[in-house]
Chain A
Amino acid sequence: MSSISSSRPMRTRGRVAFTALLLGAPALAATAALVAAPLAQMFDASLRHQDFGILQPGFTLENYRALLGSVQYAELFYKTIAAAALVTMLCALFGFPVALHIAAAGPRHRAFLYFLVTAPLLINTVVRSYGWLLMLGNRGLINTVLIATSITSEPLPLSGNLLGMVIGATQVFLPFMILSLTTSLDGLDSRLIESAGILGASRIRTFLDVTLPLTVPGLIAGSVLVFSLMLGAIVTPLMLGGSAIRYLSVTIYTDAFVLFDLPRATASSAILLLAVTCLYALQRHFIRSYQDKATT
């Protein structure tokens, strides 16, 4: 009697899992093929020589050697990382107050705020970046106003450079940071905040001592998300930074579609992919050890 009732849920669970696997198998296979095939092609191209735009047979590490041995490339890589890090930090800086506000809001107000945060995601990045161009361009809203009011005589260089890209990208990726932080804040016991307050901590002190340390996992998850999205972003950097900007994804784009140097473009991509993968693994490790520390 008892053995039947106790073994049944186990067997049922096993069967459910198996059925789920069976149902999911075609989609799983398709996804694997669609991810694996282009990746394989990319690695393949990055290991070849190219003559007159045609990939030659035989593998070589020359493409990687050329990139990793180049000072210019190192600088490009460093600048790219720095720009992406800057965007990530700005997202965290602007995202935290918004996330705190959402987490503290009542259910109705909250739904509305969620809508406000996620609505931009429904609009194509090209359109959003173009919107920023209308604001930041030489004849954009800001410069027009500045010149009309004689604050400046020449338009300020707000786009077609790093500044434009950072401003645009921060707005584009902010929702991901906000959603990640909100999720983390929701898991925070409000009694902890109240306890800190009763013990005499001001709001800022409570934020620094309690809220921030306990939402570090969400902050890291959001940061890694924004950072890797930014590393891979092409539309916003190209439109607001311009093709002359020193940014890796833009360079890869130029290599592939302007210079038709496929081996160099794919080798750069492979290095970028490796960097992001390492970062992701590091994040998982860090979050897990952080949670272990907090809960044992």
Chain B
Amino acid sequence: MPGPPSTSPVPLKVRARGLDKSFGSHRALRAIDLDIHNGEFLTLLGPSGCGKTTLMRVIAGLETNDGGTVMIDGRDVTHESPRRRGLGMVFQSYSLFPHMSVAENIGYGLKVAGKSKTEIEDRVREMLELISLPHVADRRPKALSGGQQQRVALARALATRPSLLMLDEPLGALDLKLRRQLQAELKRIHRATGMTFLFVTHDQEEALFLSDRIAVMRDGRIEQLDTPENIYRRPANDYVADFVGDVTLLSCGISGRNRRLAVVHDWPNAAPVTIAHPSPFDRFRLVVRPEQVALVPPDGRNGLPANVQEVINEGSTTLVLLKGPAGNQLKARLIGRPNFALHRGAAICAEVRGAEVCLPMEAG
């Protein structure tokens, strides 16, 4: 759910304009514009080294930008130190103070702010309940498991009620099961606190699951900023399409009176594919997700004739790799098991249903 539109009188939580940052000759950020709405869960998604951490650190003030401005709650903080920006931060490496107990860690921000002892104690207890670890207050961080340490780090960041919480791949060091569990917990805490979350990950599934909006980054730029659904179903370009989920790009030409029939190039005996919206291009590449491919027994009339190359069991779903007569590849993801023979080499017909995104030919 995206926040209010930018015409709203409520100021944006973060308004970044033209952020530039170079390390030596390497440009880590290139003229980044980013708006973060109040209360939203925004994720920076991209491969390692694309500048996610740098962007977050510039917003936090831990890194000084070469150009551009950062506004938080309508206030220009470009030249302000991190401690005056009212933020919370959770690092991948937990970064708990090893010489303090869990309670002292969580209460540190409040202690620095000069809060009374009883107020700190109450808040620490509240935070420990929030992260479901009420009994670890007196332990040292190192006595806890990785997942527990990261929860404590989260509690420490939340304790001062920052207006914006930043999380830099906080679950990156945890195993898959724990990660899933903490993802759900993060979502719950986001909802419970109503804070604005700026989250960094290179895991597209995590981003899709958690976020209100996702900014997909490449080489210091934001390629697309949109809701998870739009990022997934209507990627702005090849890069986004490819990075977020499995995708096949089929070279097509347009046909039909309403420009909604795609003729697949270089695929002998292929029936035209119906697309959701009229294509703006004559020649284009159709974005096909594996879920949009249905398999039917070969009858020679519908869909794209193909042979099964590989059947991969993914638990609740089955991924089928297909090969067309001219060597084109296509992937199909099926829920459950089909009611016909599906083995390597089997002849099959692939029907593409609900494809809606056409990318221009020359884009790269």
Contacts and interface: CB of A to CB of B under 8 A. Distances in A.
A-B interaction: yes
Contacts of A293: 99, 140
Centre residue among B91, B112, B140, B160 by max chain A CB count within 10 A: B112
A192 B108 CA distance: 12
B112 A191 contact: no
Interface stretch (A26-34, A151-159, A199-207, A219-227): A199-207
A210 B82 CA distance: 17
A14 interface: no
Contact of B82 (A189, A197, A295, A296): A197
Given A197-B82, A199-B156, A201-B112, A191 B142 contact: no
* Prevailing SS type, chain A contact patch: helix
Interface string B253-270: 000000000000000000
Contact of B83 (A192, A198, A209, A295): A198
Given A199-B160, A296-B143, A189 B95 contact: yes
Contacts of B243: none
A194 B98 contact: no
A194 B166 CA distance: 13
A200 B87 CA distance: 9
B81 A296 contact: no
A213 B82 contact: no
Contacts of B99: 213-214, 293-294
Interface string B76-97: 0000011100011101010101
A198 B88 contact: yes
Interface string A53-97: 000000000000000000000000000000000000000000000
Given A294-B140, A296-B140, A296-B143, A198 B97 contact: no
Contacts of B140: 293-296
Contacts of A201: 83, 108, 112
Nearest to B85: A198
Interface string A239-278: 0000000000000000000000000000000000000000
Contacts of B97: 192, 195-196, 209-210
Nearest to B143: A296
A202 to B, nearest CB: 7
A202 B142 CA distance: 26
Interface in A178-196: 189, 191-192, 194-196
A192 B87 contact: no
Interface residues of A, number: 21
Contacts of A213: 99
Contacts of A192: 95, 97
A194 B89 contact: yes
A293 B98 CA distance: 9
B152 to A, nearest CB: 12
Interface in B106-126: 108-109, 112-113
A4 B266 CA distance: 55
Contacts of B109: 199-200
A205 B112 contact: yes
B29 interface: no
B62 interface: yes
Given A205-B112, A294-B98, A200 B83 contact: yes
A199 B91 contact: no
B247 interface: no
A189 B143 contact: no
B93 A198 contact: no
B352 interface: no
A194 B60 CA distance: 10
A191 B108 contact: no
Contact of A191 (B81, B87, B93): B93
Contacts of A295: 98, 140, 142
A189 to B, nearest CB: 6
Contacts of B62: 194, 197-198
A197 B83 contact: yes
B87 A198 contact: yes
A196 B60 CA distance: 13
A293 B81 CA distance: 32
Interface in B220-255: none
B91 A191 contact: yes
Contacts of A202: 83
B95 A197 contact: no
A197 B108 CA distance: 11
Interface string B134-145: 000000101100
Given A195-B91, A199-B157, 12 more contacts: A195-B95, A195-B156, A196-B112, A197-B83, A198-B60, A198-B89, A199-B160, A202-B83, A209-B112, A294-B98, A294-B140, A296-B142
State the 5 A-B residue pairs at the shortest beta-carbon distance, nearest first. Answer: A199-B109, A191-B95, A200-B112, A294-B98, A201-B112
14 contacts: A191-B95, A192-B97, A194-B95, A197-B81, A198-B157, A199-B112, A199-B156, A200-B160, A201-B112, A209-B97, A209-B112, A214-B98, A294-B99, A296-B140
